[in-house]
Amino acid sequence: MNLTATESTHLDLLTPRGPADSADPCQTLLALGEEAMAQRQYERAYDLFSSAARFDAGAHRFRREINRAVRALVPRWHFGMMNDAERNQAYAKAIQQVVGEDHLVLDIGTGAGLLSLLAARSGASRVVTCEAVDVVASTAREIVKQNGYADVVTVVSSLSTDLRVGVDLPRRADVLVTEIFDCALLGEFVVPALAHARRELLTPDAVILPRSGRLFAQFVESPELHSLNHVGEVDGFDFRPFASLTSLEYFSTTLSNYRHRPLTEPVEIFRFDFAQDIEPTTHHMDITPRESGSAHAVVMWFELDLAEGVTLSNSPSDTGSHWKQAIQTLPEPWRLEKDSPLGFRAAHDGQRVLVGPAHAVPHTRVR
Ligand SMILES: C[S@@+](CC[C@H](N)C(=O)[O-])C[C@H]1O[C@@H](n2cnc3c(N)ncnc32)[C@H](O)[C@@H]1O
């Protein structure tokens, strides 16, 4: 761990030097860790708490503190994701189809290392993988070693956009595997990560897995979904000013947990080819409602084409998927009439997606 000058001084002052000095360096590290937590410097807090534990023979004492930092650094969805058999099998099948001997594979977003291990098992001569969160990267390194692939898989603790050929990768990679997708595909910055990788880290004819993805939208009537993001009167009090704090963008939740009535068929709003640049786009689309009613929300989900014949989805009917659906509530319920075509807009800026009546969705960019 690298201590700041102030932290080292604190520690020097407090390190016991003889029987007369009862100061406890662990307490100092603990206090510095707390300070880092308060400043939301969770990686630093993790390092400080871990050092305190190393200092102390009864390391056990600091497990809870370390875990507080871990909880801030490592979202719970990692576990649901790793246990999502449908996702894992689809990636395993696609990787087996695409990765061969002599391939140098780049895996963006190591997590626990599953995709890298699958690539190594499929015969890749070398796998380089990067992970933005240090504690996740070091844990993945341990997992790779324990599974006997340390000579094939190198885990780099870094954002993919900081990787360099000749430093982190011996040469440009032949295959890119990645799973940095949220419930509406683009929310985890996959577009800039892929653009950078294609430009700086991959051979011109590299295989990208997944190769493409599609995003679907469906308007639903559901006061229950609307109430997750809107408020009016409560117990005789007017809470409408709180409307300024609602989310204008989608959030992730499980559609089937809320009573809802689909008013339209699902419609494909975007198609992404991950081998090409993905530019901000606005589509003007027409749809004919199959039911009359008030649309309170748009439900979105994706289909990812991992390789030939291997597709992965978080549609409302894919109940085994750890991904939930992307729900965007409409500011006001939108009246739809059965069999009366109406126009709507769908826009994305390479990260965020907005869908709704034309007046509610900016013309060209979400930004
Ligand atoms: C959804 S998890 C997938 C983990 C693993 N690849 C798997 O499929 O089991 C994505 C991981 O990628 C990391 N990540 C996301 N974008 C990244 C980037 N551009 N560079 C490095 N790590 C990234 C996140 O911190 C997270 O641990």
- The H or E element containing residue 53 is helix 42-55
pLDDT greater than 60 at residue 9:
no
Mutate to test the pocket of ligand 1, among 131, 144, 154 (most ligand atoms within 8 A of CB): 131
Using an 8 Å Cβ cutoff, are 126 and 104 in contact? yes
250-260 per-position pLDDT tens digit: 999 999 999 99
Q: Does any ligand 1 atom lie closer than 6 A to the CB of residue 160?
A: yes
**pLDDT tens for residues 11-51?**
554 444 333 344 678 889 999 999 999 999 999 999 999 98
Could you tell me which of 312, 320, 300 has the C-alpha nearest to residue 255? 300
What residues pair up with 300 in beta bridges, in sequence order? Answer: 217, 326
Residues in contact with 9: Cβ distance below 8 Å, sequence separation at least 6, in sequence order: none
Which atom of ligand 1 sits closest to the CA of residue 193?
19
| Relative orientation angle of helices 134-146 and 114-121, to the nearest 10 degrees | 30
Q: CA dist 118 to 93, 109, 131, 137, 191, Å?
A: 9, 14, 17, 17, 24
Q: Is the CB of 108 under 6 A from ligand 1?
A: yes
What ligand 1 atom has the least distance to the C-alpha of 107?
6
Q: Whose CA is nearest to atom 16 of ligand 1?
A: 109
| pLDDT tens-digit map of 206-216 | 999 999 999 99
Mean pLDDT to the nearest integer, 180-189? 97
Please tell me if the CB atom of residue 159 comes closer than 6 angstroms to any atom of ligand 1. yes
Measured distance CA(121)–CA(323) in Å, rounded:
26
The angle that helices 134-146 and 42-55 make with each other, rounded to 10 degrees, is 60
pLDDT at 225: 98
Phi and psi, residue 232, nearest 5°: -125, -100
Q: What is the pLDDT of residues 291-339, one digit of tens each?
A: 999 999 999 999 999 999 999 999 999 888 999 999 999 999 999 999 9
Query: What pLDDT band is residue 364 in, cutting at 50, 70 and 90?
Result: low
More confident residue, 259 or 4: 259
Ligand 1 pocket check for 132: Cβ under 6 Å: yes
Q: Which domains does the chain have, with CATH numbers?
A: 5-73 (no CATH), 79-209 (3.40.50.150), 212-360 (2.70.160.11)
If you measure from the C-alpha of residue 136 to the centroid of ligand 1, how many angstroms do you get, rounded to a whole number? Answer: 9
Compute the average pLDDT of residues 70-82: 96
Task: Tell me if 131 CB under 6 Å of ligand 1.
Answer: yes
Give mean pLDDT, residues 180-197.
Answer: 97
Q: Which of 341, 203, 219, 310 is nearest to 269 (CA)?
A: 219
Binned at pLDDT 50, 70 and 90, residue 181 comes out as very high
Ligand 1 atom 2, closest CA: 111
Q: Is the CB of 59 under 6 A from ligand 1?
A: no
Q: How would you class 59 by CB atoms within 10 Å of its CB: exposed for 0-12, middle for 13-18, buried for 19 or more?
A: middle
- Which atom from ligand 1 is nearest to the alpha carbon of 160? 20
Mean pLDDT of all residues in 353-361: 84
How buried is residue 326: exposed, middle or buried, by Cβ count under 10 Å (0-12/13-18/19+)?
Answer: buried
* DSSP conformation class of 54: H
Lowest mean pLDDT among 54-68, 76-90, 230-244: 54-68
State if residue 84 touches ligand 1 by the CB under 6 angstroms criterion: no
Lowest mean pLDDT among 52-66, 70-84, 87-101, 266-280: 52-66
Residue 273 scores a pLDDT above 80: yes
Check pocket membership of 116 for ligand 1, CB cut-off 6 A. Answer: no
Q: How far apart are CA 86 and CA 79, in angstroms?
A: 14
Mean residue pLDDT of the chain comes to 91
Of the chain, the percentage scoring pLDDT greater than 90 comes to 83
pLDDT band at 362 (very low <50, low <70, confident <90, very high): low
**Cα-to-centroid distance, 205 and ligand 1 (Å):** 23
Instruction: Tell me the pLDDT band of 7, cut-offs 50, 70 and 90.
Output: low
Q: Is residue 118 a contact partner of residue 181, using CB atoms and an 8 Å limit? A: no
- Contact by Cβ (8 Å): 357, 287: no
Q: Taking Cα atoms as reference points, which of 314, 303, 317, 299 lies closest to residue 356?
A: 299
